[in-house]
Amino acid sequence: MDTLQKIPAHVAIIMDGNGRWALERGLPRLSGHKAGTENLREVIEACAEFGIKYLTIYAFSTENWNRPDEEIQGLMRIFRTMLDRELNNLHKNGVQLRHIGQLDGIDKKLQQKVQEAIKLTQGNQTLILNVAFNYGGRDEILQAVKKIVANGENIDDLDDELFSKYLFTAGSPDPDLIIRTSGEFRISNFLIWQGAYAEWYFTPTFWPDFNKEELYQALVAYNERDRRYGKVNQAKGK
């Protein structure tokens, strides 16, 4: 792999296509979700190797509660198993776990596991891993507004910087690059505020097959982008 000139500080991923990956192989949907969680280790390690400092993964949305109960319960079991299996390895490799979203409505034992993982890894700095679990972008904005009102903030003081401090992602920079796997072209209620100026990369690859090489190709595409933030590129005049 050639050396990349620009490395995004923050990459976010919509991990899509687990169910279709399983169906193509004649497997139940939960087998796809299991394969997707097992794929995480390689992607996390690759992010650290490339020098990415923040990784946000869309693990479970507020809309996912509308899926069949059997699938939801299976997903919860998979998440619990993944935490039990991967936590020590993540901690050893300097990964700091953060949760974005709401823990309300999630099984108490899983809530406890998440909180313990956050506490254990809070001093790690190699890679910050934001896990969007029971997360929705609209809900995040509504919760931020409620907190702003409850805290009695002066409306005249409200700006982008202050508002961002009330979001679930407070303390993390906005994503530079958002990747969506499986060939879908939707933002699906993910990082609506934070992704306003992110570069997007869509790949037809299903999430369980998204590996280090796939991530590298996304970073190559990112290097080819000209991020202007609404300004004019003086060199190109456009």
pLDDT in tens, 73-120: 999 999 999 999 999 999 999 999 999 999 987 888 899 999 999 999
Output the pLDDT for position 104. 84
Give the start-end residues of each E strand in 149-204. Answer: 177-180, 199-202
- Whether 16 is a known active-site residue: answer yes
All residue ranges of the chain with pLDDT < 50 are none
Domain-located, residue 230: no
**pTM summary value:** 0.93
Domain-located, residue 165: yes
Domain-located, residue 228: no
Please give the Cα distance from 88 to 57 (Å, whole number): 19
CATH code, domain with 103: 3.40.1180.10
Rg (CA), the chain: 18
Domain-located, residue 231: no
Instruction: Provide the β-strand partners of residue 54.
Output: 10, 128
Domain-located, residue 107: yes
- Whether 2 is a known active-site residue: answer no
**Catalytic residue (one of 18, 39, 64, 130):** 64
Domain-located, residue 110: yes
Output the pLDDT for position 233. 63
User: What count of Cα atoms within 13 Å lies in the side-chain half-sphere of residue 175?
Assistant: 26
Number of domains in the chain: 1
Considering only the C-alpha atoms of the chain, give the largest distance between any 2 of them, rounded to a whole number of Å. 57
Look up the domain containing 190 and give its range. 10-223
Contact (Cβ atoms closer than 8 angstroms) between residue 131 and residue 97: yes
**Catalytic residue (one of 16, 130, 134, 176):** 16
Domain-located, residue 85: yes
Domain-located, residue 57: yes
Output the pLDDT for position 5. 93
User: What count of Cα atoms within 13 Å lies in the side-chain half-sphere of residue 112?
Assistant: 3
